[in-house]
Chains A and B, each alone.
Chain A
Amino acid sequence: MKTLAELAEIREKMKGKVAMRQNDGNETRIIVGMGTCGIAAGARPVLAALVEEVSKEKLEETVTVTQTGCIGICQYEPVVEVIEPGKEKVTYVKMTAEKAQRVVAEHIKGGKVVTAFTIGANVAK
């Protein structure tokens, strides 16, 4: 027999698992470019790392991770865009799984853009 506390536990555990079906457009969106070029450049591990981190940090109810086709800047793939409601879009380039973890920790959770990975920083070089 389940107690109220056990019910609440299942609820908390499951909420994150179904959260992506309840998008209301107010969540932060992390978009990974998954065109042929992006996949070739290693977008899949980046996508996997993002999904994993978001889930680990229990951010599923406010953050969605999706893919899109080619973003059009193939030389900078893998590309990740972060769109927070009411804020400017941030574009990260030449991403790796490790960089993705930092973006989730510092930007999504900590609220501070990881400037070193942004397209601005990389084009300037």
Chain B
Amino acid sequence: MIRSHVLICGGTGCTSSGSAKLQTILEQELAARGLTEEIKIVKTGCFGLCEHGPVMIVYPDGTFYSRVQPEDIAEIVEEHLLKGRVVTRLAYTDTGDGEAKTDELPSLSDTAFYRSQQRIALRNCGVINPEVIDEYIAMDGYKALGKVLTEMTPAEVIDVITKSGLRGRGGAGFPTGRKWAFAAATPGEIKYVCCNADEGDPGAFMDRSVLEGDPHAVIEAMTIAGYAIGAHQGYVYVRAEYPIAIERLRIAIAQAKEYGLLGKNIFGSGFDFDLDLRFGAGAFVCGEETALMTSIEGQRGEPRPRPPFPAVKGLFGKPTVLNNVETYANIPLIINNGVEWFNSIGTETSKGTKVFALVGKVNNTGLVEVPMGTPLRTIIEEIGGGIPNGKKFKAAQTGGPSGGCIPAHLIDTPIDYENLLAIGSMMGSGGLIVMDEDTCMVDIAKFFLEFTVDESCGKCTACRIGTKRLLQILDKITSGNGTMEDLDTLEELAAHIKTTALCGLGQTAPNPILSTLRYFKDEYIAHIVDKRCPAGVCKALLSYVIDAEKCKGCTACARKCPVNAISGSVKNPHVIDTAKCIKCGACVETCRFDAIYKK
């Protein structure tokens, strides 16, 4: 008799904060109290609130415990599982109105973090055990595949996906139905279906979470795509740095094969489909579709010119559909719930939801899924719980190294593909980095350019040399040697690279510069003209000074300074020799009178 389920998050975030250990201890505690037969432990994928991990939910009550420590387990078992009393001290109850609820706990869906979310791609993450195929089936898993194979023609499937308005979640937002239609229309005995699980954007983990929490959704969708275009073989290209995702995929594929949901003659329909994994070594450019396929073929992962597009000549020269993990995760629900249902979510041009990895200067970092058209403000202030330490919101970066920033005055922008493009950013795969007033926008542009310079495959000159030149100019500006002409050079060079680079990496590499120039030109000018970094980040432009009024002459800083840059006698104001100072900041931390500041 199972009367309660305890769900423990087994996502990467919670695993690294110790959830596996919690599970072991919980198993021991339950055994010690003879509750093993009554309470079931379920290891799930990510709940989204990784910041508060390790997390745990107790059903049927639906109590959400956050930041659970090993020593808390005994209390949860004794109080909650045995006596039915919620351990309020560990319950996550943040409804955003600042009041701690202790008598009537808010349900999880009423907390500020979950209230505005709508989970479609993440529907099973944190709900099922991804290693048990029956749990996926309980959530209507493989029902869509059954329907497609026994009741629909390939053309009907493509028609549904086209009418649903689903667009690619991996970058450019290309209509998925159209992509499938092209591949279906290309004649050929052999075709392929691929899944892009390379997820190279710094800080992004949407796709990893879907694979870890609901791998069968991707398998089911790829099989549906195979039927739609006439392919019998699929490949998931996943980065080798995702061991948990790979393991769950392996288990899921084996289970699907055992059930005959992959393999020959699925559901007796005569349709065959097989799926294999291929591993990426983590080069960002391998996420680009032509490079990805070249890499699967066993060659060095370099892009090639398009056309021909993959739908015509893709993997091994055969017609191929490549979609992103999250794109696939939407497919089964669209088949099950219909076009109208999907159309009713989102905006005119962007249907459905988008998953974002919310990171940076925000209280609730984690994984969120919201309807397209949700204002940035809702994501940052409500779901994200605002900016820590009372700082001011400055900008948000979307689209990773190909994207741009959204400045504070545009915080009410409804997030969809078109709006983001219009304000000079892009959806990208869903990284969302929040920045506060202490962030230097020139430094941010530099961070992304360093990334693209590292990751450029070097095949074409515009990207290989052009991005390096951009970075040199940014270096010059942040070290205080920039000139106003440099800004013109940046824009001119950016325009050249955008139009001449071979692949998306090069073509979008200048975006972080262009977008910061567009909204934060004054910051560039401050670096160039005033030789000042307004956010106090760029070291070369900072100097440390001691306020003579506040300095008590305690000598603490002088003793701390590693290069003896501080001089002064006891009980007299000290001074910093800026020529000697290496700007390590050690003195600021040491001073008990707040007398030392950055200028």
Binding site for B on A (CB under 8 A): 1-4, 7, 10-11, 13-15, 17-18, 20-23, 25, 32-36, 39, 47-48, 51-52, 55, 64-69
Shortest distance between the CB of A65 and any CB in chain B (Å): 6
Flag if A68 contacts B85 (CB, 8 Å).
yes
Across the interface, B3 reaches (CB within 8 A) one of A4, A15, A22, A65, namely A65
Flag if A14 contacts B84 (CB, 8 Å).
no
Flag if B107 contacts A25 (CB, 8 Å).
yes
What are 11 of the A-B contact pairs (CB < 8 Å)? Answer: A1-B266, A17-B2, A18-B127, A18-B135, A20-B59, A25-B107, A34-B83, A36-B83, A39-B83, A65-B3, A66-B61
Q: Across the interface, which residues of A come within 8 angstroms of B128, CB to CB?
A: 18, 21
Across the interface, B83 reaches (CB within 8 A) one of A7, A14, A35, namely A35
Q: Across the interface, which residues of B come within 8 angstroms of A47, CB to CB?
A: 3
Q: How far is the CA of A3 from the CA of B62 in the complex (A)?
A: 35
Flag if B3 contacts A21 (CB, 8 Å).
no
Q: Across the interface, which residues of B come within 8 angstroms of A21, CB to CB?
A: 5, 7, 57, 59, 127-128
Q: Across the interface, which residues of A come within 8 angstroms of B7, CB to CB?
A: 21
Residues from 77 to 130 in B contacting A, C-beta threshold 8 Å: 82-85, 107, 127-128
Q: Across the interface, which residues of B come within 8 angstroms of A32, CB to CB?
A: 84
Flag if A14 contacts B137 (CB, 8 Å).
yes
Of chain A, the residue at the smallest CB distance from B136 is A14
CB contact under 8 A between A66 and B83, given known A4-B267, A11-B143:
no
B134 at the interface (CB under 8 A from A): yes
Q: How far is the CA of A18 from the CA of B59 in the complex (A)?
A: 10
Flag if A4 contacts B146 (CB, 8 Å).
yes
Shortest distance between the CB of B150 and any CB in chain A (Å): 6
Flag if A23 contacts B1 (CB, 8 Å).
no
Of chain A, the residue at the smallest CB distance from B134 is A14
Q: How far is the CA of A17 from the CA of B137 in the complex (A)?
A: 12
CB contact under 8 A between A23 and B59, given known A10-B134, A11-B138, A14-B134:
yes
Of chain A, the residue at the smallest CB distance from B110 is A25
Q: Across the interface, which residues of B come within 8 angstroms of A69, CB to CB?
A: 83-85
Q: Across the interface, which residues of A come within 8 angstroms of B60, CB to CB?
A: 20, 23, 64-66
Q: Across the interface, which residues of B come within 8 angstroms of A2, CB to CB?
A: 259-261, 267
Other than the given A34-B84, A66-B84, 15 more pairs (CB < 8 A) read A1-B259, A3-B268, A7-B142, A7-B267, A10-B137, A11-B137, A14-B135, A18-B128, A20-B59, A25-B107, A33-B84, A35-B83, A36-B83, A48-B38, A67-B83
Shortest distance between the CB of B227 and any CB in chain A (Å): 15
Shortest distance between the CB of B142 and any CB in chain A (Å): 6
Of chain A, the residue at the smallest CB distance from B142 is A7
B139 at the interface (CB under 8 A from A): yes
Q: How far is the CA of A46 from the CA of B82 in the complex (A)?
A: 14
Q: Across the interface, which residues of A come within 8 angstroms of B135, CB to CB?
A: 14, 18
Flag if B1 contacts A52 (CB, 8 Å).
yes
B16 at the interface (CB under 8 A from A): no
Residue with the greatest number of chain A CB neighbours at <10 A, chosen from B1, B137, B260 = B137
Interface size for B (C-beta < 8 A) is: 37
B265 at the interface (CB under 8 A from A): yes
Q: Across the interface, which residues of A come within 8 angstroms of B3, CB to CB?
A: 47-48, 51, 65
Flag if A18 contacts B85 (CB, 8 Å).
no
Shortest distance between the CB of B259 and any CB in chain A (Å): 5
Shortest distance between the CB of B483 and any CB in chain A (Å): 62
Shortest distance between the CB of A81 and any CB in chain B (Å): 12
Of chain A, the residue at the smallest CB distance from B149 is A4
Q: How far is the CA of A67 from the CA of B77 in the complex (A)?
A: 13
Flag if A3 contacts B5 (CB, 8 Å).
no
As a 0/1 sequence over residues 1 to 40 of chain B, the CB contacts with chain A under 8 angstroms (1 = contact) are 1111101000000000000000000000000000000100
Shortest distance between the CB of A11 and any CB in chain B (Å): 5
Residue with the greatest number of chain A CB neighbours at <10 A, chosen from B2, B38, B61, B83 = B83
Shortest distance between the CB of A89 and any CB in chain B (Å): 15
Q: How far is the CA of A36 from the CA of B85 in the complex (A)?
A: 11
Q: Across the interface, which residues of A come within 8 angstroms of B2, CB to CB?
A: 17, 51
Residue with the greatest number of chain A CB neighbours at <10 A, chosen from B38, B107, B146 = B146
As a 0/1 sequence over residues 444 to 460 of chain B, the CB contacts with chain A under 8 angstroms (1 = contact) are 00000000000000000
B140 at the interface (CB under 8 A from A): yes
Q: How far is the CA of A52 from the CA of B2 in the complex (A)?
A: 8
Q: Across the interface, which residues of B come within 8 angstroms of A17, CB to CB?
A: 2, 138
Q: Across the interface, which residues of A come within 8 angstroms of B137, CB to CB?
A: 7, 10-11, 14
Of chain B, the residue at the smallest CB distance from A24 is B109
Q: Across the interface, which residues of A come within 8 angstroms of B5, CB to CB?
A: 18, 20-21
Shortest distance between the CB of B487 and any CB in chain A (Å): 55
Q: How far is the CA of A102 from the CA of B59 in the complex (A)?
A: 25
As a 0/1 sequence over residues 70 to 82 of chain B, the CB contacts with chain A under 8 angstroms (1 = contact) are 0000000000001
Q: Across the interface, which residues of B come within 8 angstroms of A11, CB to CB?
A: 137-138, 140, 143
Q: How far is the CA of A106 from the CA of B440 in the complex (A)?
A: 69
